[in-house]
Structures are given as structure tokens and as C-alpha cells.
Structure 1
């Protein structure tokens, strides 16, 4: 069985409490998929960085990864910063097999869940 990893990639913040919802998503994924490695990576202000996260996963001899941007939309960080980071990681780790999903806020199911949340009483 080939081991796979999911990387939840988000912006980062100075306040450590900011990442609590992302940790909760990590825990939910891990509970539903105990055989899967689920890691967090941050663009800035928090660690690990994306490169550090990928390096750690590869050190466990896991090469198949899915990167999930925990961003509301396809802004500059996703369109500009992320491709540069991924290019550097691909060059450093050519054995990496990385799939990048669209930002979570681009998914209709996520948007429907937010809309439901907004209208629930």
C-alpha cells in the first residue's frame, strides 16, 4: 500500500490561536483516514513552511501528496506565491508526486456549507 499525505496549506498569523480551525480540519481528516498523513504548512508567520513540511514528509519516504490551500479564493498568494514555492520544491524534490487542489473557498460544497451556516438559527 502506497502511503499518501495531505498538506493543509494556509496563510499563517502572529496569533497562534488563528490556526485552531485548521488543526480541527486536520483532526477530522485524520479521524476519517487514520492511515493517511495529514500535515499543516504555512505561507508566513507560522511554521512549518511548505518546503519544511514537504521535506519532513519525504523523509518518511512518502512521495504522493495532495496540497489543499485553505484559502477562501484564488488570490495572489495562490496565483503567484504558491506556484513559486511549488517550483522550488519540485526542483529540490524531483521524486515528489504532488497534486494541488483549488482553494477550499472555490468548492461549491464548501460554499453551500457556509451559506447553510449563515442561515441556520
Structure 2
């Protein structure tokens, strides 16, 4: 069983907005080269979730975990994302598509945000 991770972020018109998400994807790839990783976006940026999902299926992934890179599970995660996943399930029924909780709901992420908030500002 080949594992894939489909990282899903919102997207923005400013290309610099994607830099932290690209860093997340790069760090995941470095941490475990056996996992296929694709970064995708809901809008304004490419690839979209469907194209990135097709790419993971084409790489032979039989289990793909979809990781919403959102702080909370708002409408995009609760409504838009499941509809997109249904499209992928229909196109690739041989792949097990698993939706994980939004990363912002993970205690480690919340702890990291709290710790970052407490660091003194850089006053250069």
C-alpha cells in the first residue's frame, strides 16, 4: 500500500502567501521520502485539490490522507472539501481517501501557536 498525503490550503492572489505551505510540504517530504506529498489549494492558486489528487493516484497511491492546512474546520473544510473528495473517490475508487481534521485542531499546533505568541517581538 503506497501512502500519499494531500495537503490542502485555501490559496490567495499573492504568491508569497503560499511560501509557508510550500515549506510544510518540503519538510514532510524530507521527513519521510516514502510518502508521496502533493500541496493543493482551494482557489486562486494551483494545483487544485482534484488535480493534486489525480497526481497522487497516478503515482500509485492506494491510501491518501487529506490534510486541511486550516486553523479550524469552517465551511471550506466542512462543506467544500468533502464535495471535492467525492469527485476524487468517483474518479479513483481503488484509492482510499481519508479526510483528517484541520491541523489547527491538533494540540501540538495550538501549543506551537501559543509559544510563538509569547516570544518577544523582533525589534530590529
Q: Shorter-chain TM-score category?
A: over 0.9
Aligned match of 1:119: 118
TM-score (norm 1): 0.94
Q: Does 1:44 align with 2:46?
A: no
Tell me the distance in 1 between the aligned counterparts of 2:9 and 2:35.
19
Tell me the distance in 2 between the aligned counterparts of 1:87 and 1:30.
26
Deviations 1:1-59 (A, max 9, x none): x3211111011111111110001111111111012111101111111111111111111
Tell me the distance in 1 between the aligned counterparts of 2:99 and 2:82.
10
How do residues 1-121 of structure 1 correspond to structure 2 at under 5 angstroms? 2-121=1-120
TM-score (norm 2): 0.92
Ranges in structure 2 where 5+ consecutive residues have no aligned partner: none
Tell me the distance in 2 between the aligned counterparts of 1:38 and 1:61.
12
Count residues in correspondence.
120
Tell me the distance in 2 between the aligned counterparts of 1:86 and 1:7.
11
Q: Which ranges of 4 or more aligned residues in structure 1 deviate by more than 6 Å?
A: none
CA RMSD of aligned residues (A): 1.0
Ranges in structure 1 where 5+ consecutive residues have no aligned partner: none
Q: Specify the SS of the correspondent of 1:47.
A: coil
